[in-house]
Amino acid sequence: MTQGKVTFKPSDEVDFVIVGSGASGGVLAKELSTNGFRVVVLEQGPYLTPADFSHDEIKVWVEHQLTNNPAVQPQTFRKTPQDKAQRQYAVMYGRCVGGSSVHFTANYWRFHEIDFVEHSKVGNIPGAALADWPITYADLEPYYTKVEWDIGVSGLAGASPFDPPRSKPYPMPPLPVKGNGVIFERAARKLGYHPFPAPMAILSQPRAGRSACVNCGFCLGFGCEVGAKSSSLAAAIPVAEATSRCEIRPNSYVHKVEVDKNGRATGVLYFDAKKNTHLQKAKAVILAANGAETPRLLLLSSSPQFPNGLANSSGFVGKHLMPNSGAMAYGVFEEPVNDYKGFCVSRIMHDFYELDHQKLGFYGGGGVDARFDMTPAAFAMGGLPPDTPKWGKDFKKALHHNFTRTVEIFCHGTSLAVADNGFSLDPDVKDAWGLPALRMTYKDHPNDLKMMEWMSARAMELLDAAGATTKWAQPIQEQQFAVHLLGTCRMGKDPKTSVINADHRTHDVSNLFLCDGSSLVTSGRGQPTMTIMALAFRAADRITDLAKRGEIS
Amino acid sequence: MNSSQATRRQFLLRSAGAAGIAWANAQWPSILAAAQHAHESAKSTAKPHFEVLTPEQARNVEAIAAQIIPSDDLPGAREAGVVFFIDRALKTFASDMVAVYEKGLVEVNQLTTQKFPTAKTFADATPEQQESIMTDLAEHLNPPAGGSRRRRQAGSGDFVQTIWQHTIFGFLADPEAGGNRDYAGWKAIDRDPAHSFSPPFGFYDKDYPGWQAASLETEKK
């Protein structure tokens, strides 16, 4: 680590302690330290740098180098609150400095106007808890722009007729087109759709001391060795540290928010790497630990004063999990596409962003992209047509032919908020620190499954139009595994039906703020990270204003 | 630039083509970093002797792996050194699978002798006999129920499933993981062993005219 970085003692009462260093925590750290505040960021995972990143699928997929390890952090899963949860690997999130932004695919679409006002537009949907956001697209627009320019997003403004209004073009041209992009663009145009260059949080040109993408092909699941992927680690944390007002403290696993007798947060308790407990004192606490760990931490922080968990007077902490729905179809093409080169996605379309729910019989919408996000071993285990032999010369022949010729159409879509879906503490299973394990309860709203069936059929039509020689769709199943952790401490005006207000301040504890995927009220159409970062930029502005006016106490 | 850097540069430019060279020059520091990585990782870390498997177990593991990915005009599991990868795996990330291998190999050998009494172990059986046994074993190779493609965990406890996954990892994971010797596996799937590329990447993007907004004609179609 570089010399001259600031360190604080746990007993130093800093201005803010931020729990989590991912898409939101990293941005909050950058903004608040830049604004003059003293900040400590506690990250449960290690502080890895590009030199630690590799293309080793064992490290990434088996040893969980960048993500939570279910061996020491077990999870349980059940479909409904009536079921007994069983141990299952149900949630994957980034567990290193930079969080999930280190290993993500980097699709950076903005949410559209509709995502913020769905309830007003659509009304109630049986079985779902649809609500409007307390902010609109217009409130967030400047911060989307900030993400694009400060963090680094490549794209082409005005290329999609469905795009919401924007105040500035992208700072960089789109990444080069891939074979999958050309195939997708031609097929989509043939069917009358409007494909466009994918906005990606990957640098197409060198910027701010970071390299442009070198097209290595190891994006999803892997850390970027040249800093081209616009993770918090590459784009925000270094700026925060350069202020000399921000300490990133890795291997620090927070397990309780401390509250005094007046109901004010005084700091957080965490385990260091040796499992010794410390109290980091702070004037205000910000949880940016992700949509699973933020609610878990609030529930772990229950006390006689807050028997249902901290900031949970609404009972909404951990509820309404929206993991986004997905449908995948695959095609094999005659000539080598070589989609293992480059990044994952170069063309997308938003023609299905707002579907006609009266006509189709389901609510929601989605985005569609063409991609290849399977690294070689992962491809051999899951990328061949389902009827391919799994061993022997025909298996090998298929690998040889298909690896360079396979294209995936990925449909991303809405998840409706359902009250019973979410995270709670498992009553029996404990993690390696003796804390109650994360329990996930989830059953897709029937609406989401219907929409995915519809999207899957469209993906197959696209593959047909593209001239795929072989094509197949992954069957639509109820989801039991989540990586998009959204909605579990939703934002709202009414303290009875939300956990935080539009300033990200919890309704119940005046100096406790939450900002991550848990803040979202609706799920958008499948790509949430850009919105999480935009919210963090906005939250930093709001929190700075409050602090400067002396209104955080 | 020293000579080893120059070699790495050639190694990278080989795949870049004429149009890529200007681009590659502009990106040089990053490419060098990626090349350094590729160079390091090409040195497989598996040792050429066994630390967990007995010689007889190793012979059978190798024979099963070679049935999963046979050798032909392109390298197979044998050429990629999959058995060394598996031995190392059983010492490292899959150390909890040693018993699964021990028991599994005994069972496979029993099945072999049952079907073909002249063969003492799977490795002793003829290629045709091995294929026949593999056909029986492959019934275990169903995708895990409710599986997500993002969930790629080894460790179901089923020997056939486990050795299948380990064989694939040992064949195709980056050599840094201890298998895929000299990128033998990547050769077999037609993947260029470079770790950075420049467009065009393949057949379909090579004549792409550049992005244009949909014309009215396209709109009317």
**Mean pLDDT value of segment B162-180:** 95
Tell me, yes or no, whether B145 lies in a domain. Answer: yes
Specify whether the CB–CB gap between A45 and A38 falls below 8 A.
Answer: no
pLDDT in tens, A363-389: 999 999 999 999 999 999 999 999 999
pLDDT in tens, A167-217: 999 999 999 999 999 999 999 999 999 999 999 999 999 999 999 999 999
Both structure tokens of A66: 């960048």
Which CATH superfamily groups domain A1-62+94-102+109-152+231-320+482-548? FAD/NAD(P)-binding domain (3.50.50.60)
Tell me, yes or no, whether B84 lies in a domain. Answer: yes
Query: From B195, which residue of chain A is nearest by alpha-carbon distance?
Result: A216
Contact B201 A174 (CB under 8 A): no
Residues in B touching A156 (Cβ below 8 Å): 211
Higher pLDDT, B148 or B67: B67
Residue B70: band (very low, low, confident or very high) from pLDDT cuts 50, 70, 90: very high
Residue B157: band (very low, low, confident or very high) from pLDDT cuts 50, 70, 90: low
Both structure tokens of A188: 């989509």
Give me the helices (H) in A383-513, please.
392-402, 446-466
Q: Which domain holds residue B170?
A: 55-188
Q: How many residues does chain B have?
A: 221
If we measure between CA atoms, which residue out of A464, A477, A444 comes closest to residue A362? A444
Residue A1: band (very low, low, confident or very high) from pLDDT cuts 50, 70, 90: very low
pLDDT in tens, A250-269: 999 999 999 999 999 999 99
**Mean pLDDT value of segment A134-146:** 98
Residue B43: band (very low, low, confident or very high) from pLDDT cuts 50, 70, 90: low
Tell me, yes or no, whether B10 lies in a domain. Answer: no
Contact B189 A380 (CB under 8 A): yes
Residues in B touching A160 (Cβ below 8 Å): none
pLDDT in tens, A428-480: 999 999 999 999 999 999 999 999 999 999 999 999 999 999 999 999 999 99
Tell me, yes or no, whether B117 lies in a domain. Answer: yes
pLDDT of residue A91 exceeding 60, the answer is: yes
Which helix (H) or strand (E) element contains residue A537? Answer: helix A529-548
Q: Which of B93, B138, B199 sits opposite A391 (nearest CB)?
A: B138
Is B166 within 8 Å of chain A by CB?
A: no
CA–CA min distance A438, chain B (Å)? 18
Both structure tokens of B202: 């393949």
Contact B199 A342 (CB under 8 A): yes
Contact B37 A59 (CB under 8 A): no
* Sequence ranges of the domains in chain A: 1-62+94-102+109-152+231-320+482-548, 166-217+325-413+443-480
* DSSP character string of B79-112: TTTHHHHHHHHHHTTTGGGHHHHHHHHHHHHHHH
Mutate to test the interface with A, among B40, B82, B152 (most CBs of A within 10 A): B152
Q: Which of A197, A382, A391 sits opposite B68 (nearest CB)?
A: A391
Q: Who's near A548: CB < 8 A, 6+ residues apart?
A: none
Contact A54 B211 (CB under 8 A): no
CA–CA min distance A158, chain B (Å)? 9
Tell me, yes or no, whether B217 lies in a domain. Answer: no
pLDDT of residue B148 exceeding 50, the answer is: no
Residues in B touching A392 (Cβ below 8 Å): 67-68, 70, 131, 134
pLDDT of residue A52 exceeding 90, the answer is: yes
Tell me, yes or no, whether B176 lies in a domain. Answer: yes
Neighbours of A143 (CB within 10 A): 23
Specify whether the CB–CB gap between A176 and A338 falls below 8 A.
Answer: no
Predicted ipTM of the assembly: 0.95
Both structure tokens of A186: 């031609």
Mean residue pLDDT across chain A: 96
Both structure tokens of A517: 């995927």
What's A166-217+325-413+443-480's CATH class? alpha beta
pLDDT of residue B10 exceeding 50, the answer is: no
Angle at B46 between CA B45 and CA B52, to 5 degrees: 145
Amino acid B19: pLDDT: 39
Distance CA A181, CA A349 (A): 11
Q: What's CA A231's distance to the chain center, in Å? A: 11
**Mean pLDDT value of segment A43-64:** 95
Residue A553: band (very low, low, confident or very high) from pLDDT cuts 50, 70, 90: confident
Contact A481 B188 (CB under 8 A): no
Is B165 within 8 Å of chain A by CB?
A: yes
Count of structural domains within chain B:
1
Distance CA A511, CA A342 (A): 44
Distance CA A472, CA A463 (A): 9
- Strand A277-287 relative to strand A512-514: parallel, antiparallel, unpaired? parallel
DSSP one-letter code for A304:
S
**Mean pLDDT value of segment B74-92:** 96
Is B202 within 8 Å of chain A by CB?
A: yes
Q: How many residues does chain A have?
A: 553
Amino acid B2: pLDDT: 38
Give me the helices (H) in A54-124, please.
57, 113-116, 118-122
pLDDT of residue B40 exceeding 80, the answer is: no
Q: Who's near B127: CB < 8 A, 6+ residues apart?
A: none
Tell me, yes or no, whether B218 lies in a domain. Answer: no
Q: Who's near B176: CB < 8 A, 6+ residues apart?
A: A54, A55, A56, A59, B40, B41, B44, B45
Contact B134 A391 (CB under 8 A): yes
pLDDT of residue B12 exceeding 90, the answer is: no
pLDDT of residue B23 exceeding 70, the answer is: no
Q: Who's near B10: CB < 8 A, 6+ residues apart?
A: none
Which helix (H) or strand (E) element contains residue A512? Answer: strand A512-514
Specify whether the CB–CB gap between A128 and A418 falls below 8 A.
Answer: yes
Distance CA A5, CA A243 (A): 9
Phi, psi values for residue B178, rounded to 5°: 110, -5
- Judged by average pLDDT, the poorest of A498-507, B34-43, B52-61, B129-138 is B34-43
Distance CA A293, CA A553 (A): 25
Tell me, yes or no, whether B178 lies in a domain. Answer: yes
Prediction pTM value: 0.93
Q: Which of B134, B188, B218 sits opposite A392 (nearest CB)?
A: B134
In whole angstroms, how far apart are CA B35 and each of A56, A351, B38, B171? 15, 40, 5, 21
pLDDT of residue B219 exceeding 80, the answer is: no
CA–CA min distance B129, chain A (Å)? 13
* DSSP character string of A36-74: T--EEEE-SS----GGG----HIIIIIS-SSB--TTTS-
